Amino acid sequence: MTEREQAVSENLGLVRACAARFSGRGAEYDDLYQAGCVGLIKAVDGFDPARGFCFSTYAVPLILGEMRRLFRDGGSMRVSRTIRERATKIGRERERLIEVLHREPTVSELAQAIGEGIEETAQAMGASLPTLSLTRSGEDEAGEIDLPVDGPEEKVTDRLALMQVLGELSGQDRALIVLRYLKSQTQQKTAEQLGMTQVQVSRREREILKKMRLRLTG
């Protein structure tokens, strides 16, 4: 995996966080995700660490900018035949890898399985994601569902703060949190991947979360 692909893969959470806040506001989630991936790739290509900015601070405005452009254009992004075919292929490989690995495959594993880059795979996955409608359409479920949500700026601010704290952790501590909370691995699976015992993971996880909580709340 190239450094560019790794940077995209490691920061897809920013795209998901931004897309989730705009979904249900006139654009479908998969369109928002695709637009966000475009912004993320632009951020990876244009980021200069010498300027002293955290990557997430630089990337989020570009991701949001691509999503807002989608709203300004007044329509959904067109999904090309190539992307649709790639999404179908990813679906087949995902099912196969789940059988082999006994877990959800990562984006990089799917990319390797279909012989494509991380960004192309992420884009195709976005195109195939189901959309959650906030409007009930069943005969016995009429009307709309009103959900109280924070503004996108508030959510992005929280996400940026979390990413900043994650970036301050040591490599193993960061990997532990990513495996447990971003990849939803059990403590036992996390222990196996990090060369630790389940008890060690449990103890260290509590210490890291306490440290992160203090850092986030001041």
* SS3 assignment, position 8: helix
The residue behind tokens 């654009």 is 27
Q: What is the mean pLDDT of residues 13-29?
A: 78
Q: Which token pair is 128?
A: 């195939």
So what's the pLDDT on residue 27? 74
Give dist(CA 14, CA 124) in Å, integer: 17
Least confident residue range of 36-45, 91-100, 143-152: 143-152
Residues 6+ apart with CB under 8 A from 136: 142, 143, 144, 145
Is the pLDDT at 182 greater than 60? The verdict is yes
CATH of domain 1-131: 1.10.1740.10
The CATH number of the domain covering residues in 169-218: 1.10.10
Q: Do domains 1-131 and 169-218 have the same CATH topology?
A: no
On whether the pTM is more than 0.75, the answer is: no
Q: Where are the domains of the chain?
A: 1-131, 169-218
